[in-house]
Chains A and B, each alone.
Chain A
């Protein structure tokens, strides 16, 4: 059977019923990296011409209708990824109050397509070398950077940006490096100045952009130990624009004096993750792990586009694997990467208003999954994701799927921690202490004595002096997050 020719919709990577806006957005995105002024890989100019032609037809409603008439009926072509959606309840209940329902979404490569070669990297390390990094921290960061440089393959690109209150390019983004010379340059880094994260990110992203290509894993890794002041908003906007160009960002916070909420927000806007490094000696291991997972990438990011449904709110989204972390809820949600050996799993909580359950059935989610797969220059057609539930008068007695139950049991601990933190910020100290105590009870019963005692210590602190220590709150947050990941790994085994 002859290979079925790609139709214009496939070329742009949109669904058949895509709106003009979707088509335009897809066109601009493809054009950005395939344009003859920008592209680097042979054959991309031809692809650009195809994209151009597809857009010319589809953007004109009359021509589009004529073209549609020539297309064979839409068949669900097997995509190179597969997904499984589990919902906590088979039906919704007709209630006069709001109700919640959970969705567990797992996205994995289809077996035969997992054999793609590991894509080359285009990574920028953005290193904080402010005065506070002096001593152990900076020394370990330097030696870890050198270690990583040595472990890179010939096709990988690693640039290094160092920042304090200004940023400098230590190693530019290029394929042709004199690695010995670079090593010396890294060694020469000295602690100096204050922490201004925006400068570092901006310079780092500019370096990555020199070599961005859809066939590379484009990623920025920020290592910092400090708070930044006044440039948070600009940094977040930068993260959003980076994400739109296929650049992921991950953050690593060293010690206790960094703003975890801010760094989580940056990472989650790009589908990246944020790690807590308690002690300098862990820097090297965590950084090497990060590179290992970057080399292991199957899809750099999966974006969920969805239309808000009347009476249904996406309340909470959390990525369970790989690299668990909160996910920022927007119209286009960056869910995170798929690794060759680790599926992307995400848990959603929906709040369904009474107005919605007046109908016979409720659409919880109507949208599509757009994976960007590094090894393929063309966008792959999005996968439609539509989750609906019938409304019944009575609750179904069926228990929720095991996967939802086991992941929620751990996520609940993480959310209790989040809640206690918000409450302590709002001055609601009793509630915060109570939630921490409840959390400690669960941790103790799971044998997490160390973490439990940290939690209890913080609960006492809140009661007595009405503060949550920076150290304790980070240990608790990343400790409960690590439990989530440990749990999901067990499941894989």
Chain B
């Protein structure tokens, strides 16, 4: 009956309300006061995934996956290619990520110019951090740089503070 933190997966004594490891709220948070906790949105997303998977925004027909930007609610479908770099374009620098996140407060969120790469390898989807300053997190856990990590439908990745939910087609 220990409570596993939805953010960092550490175990908490039953009855605990905020994770003693990472400070995230351990309850479903629809009706609760959560305004000060940034991770609340993650939990909501996680909670809705666990309880009503059908309410996830629909994945575009031709895309093999979509990025759901949690803070702003937008969806970015991934089509055609099997590999996408994520980052932000900054003026006067010749770095061009495949997906530019500047429009989604990437700078304030601490997204690097070349932050991470998302790949489709056969049936697996993997994410890899490109050695960034603020790191890439998978469901709250920081990834080792330059190591591929499998991801599943509904997982939340954070580039710095920018949270993105991965919605796979199947």
Contacts and interface: CB of A to CB of B under 8 A. Distances in A.
Contact of B21 (A101, A351, A438): A438
B31 A99 contact: no
Interface in A373-406: 395, 399-400, 402, 404-406
Interface size class on chain B is: 20 to 34
A99 B31 CA distance: 23
Nearest to A442: B23
Interface stretch (A155-163, A187-195, A410-418, A461-469): A410-418
B23 A416 contact: yes
Contacts of B32: 399-400, 402, 405
Given A95-B1, A409-B36, A351 B18 contact: no
A446 interface: yes
Which of A351, A405, A413, A435 has the most chain B CB within a 10 Å cutoff?
Answer: A405
User: Is chain A's interface secondary structure helix, strand, loop, or mixed overall?
Assistant: helix
A88 B17 contact: yes
Interface in B14-36: 14-23, 25, 27, 31-34, 36
A441 B2 CA distance: 25
Given A409-B36, A416-B23, A97 B15 contact: no
A441 B32 CA distance: 21
A412 B33 CA distance: 15
> Looking at A89, A101, A438, which has the most chain B CB atoms within 10 Å of its CB?
A438
Contacts of A57: none
A441 B1 CA distance: 28
B38 interface: yes
B37 interface: yes
Contacts of B25: 405, 409
A439 interface: yes
Nearest to A351: B13
Contacts of B13: 97-100, 351
A400 to B, nearest CB: 6
A442 B14 contact: no
Contact of B1 (A97, A351, A410, A439): A97
Contacts of B14: 93, 95, 97-100, 395
Contacts of A60: none
Interface of B: prevailing SS: loop
B43 interface: no
B27 A399 contact: yes
Contacts of A351: 13
B15 A442 contact: no
Residue picked from B18, B21, B38, most chain A C-beta under 10 Å? B18
B15 A435 contact: no
B161 interface: yes
A102 B13 CA distance: 13
Residue of B1, B14, B15, B20 ringed by the most chain A CB atoms within 10 A: B15
Contacts of A446: 36, 38
A339 to B, nearest CB: 25
B69 to A, nearest CB: 16
B2 A444 contact: no
Contacts of A180: none
A426 interface: no
Given A95-B1, A97-B2, A399-B32, A442 B38 contact: yes
B33 A402 contact: yes
A92 to B, nearest CB: 8
Interface string A418-455: 01000000000000000100110110111000000000
A314 B55 CA distance: 43
B122 to A, nearest CB: 34
A95 B2 CA distance: 10
B110 to A, nearest CB: 8
Interface string B25-69: 101000111101111000000000000000000000000000000
Nearest to B7: A438
B2 to A, nearest CB: 7
Given A99-B13, A102-B17, A441 B36 contact: no
A27 to B, nearest CB: 41
Contact of B33 (A100, A406, A439, A444): A406
A438 B1 contact: no
A412 B15 contact: no
B17 A442 contact: no
Contacts of B36: 406, 409-410, 445-446, 487
Nearest to A402: B33
A77 B3 CA distance: 43
Contacts of B16: 100
A408 interface: yes
B2 A409 contact: no
A400 B17 contact: yes
Nearest to A411: B18
Contacts of B8: 438
Nearest to B38: A445
Contacts of A438: 8, 21-23
In the complex, which of the residues A102, A410, A412, A416 has the most CB atoms of chain B within 10 Å of its own CB atom? A412
A88 B15 CA distance: 8
13 contacts: A93-B14, A95-B1, A399-B31, A400-B32, A402-B33, A405-B32, A409-B33, A409-B36, A409-B37, A415-B20, A435-B21, A444-B161, A446-B38
The 4 closest A-B pairs by CB, nearest first: A445-B38, A412-B18, A99-B14, A100-B15
Given A99-B13, A438-B21, 12 more contacts: A88-B15, A88-B17, A89-B15, A93-B15, A97-B13, A98-B14, A351-B13, A405-B17, A412-B20, A416-B23, A442-B23, A445-B37
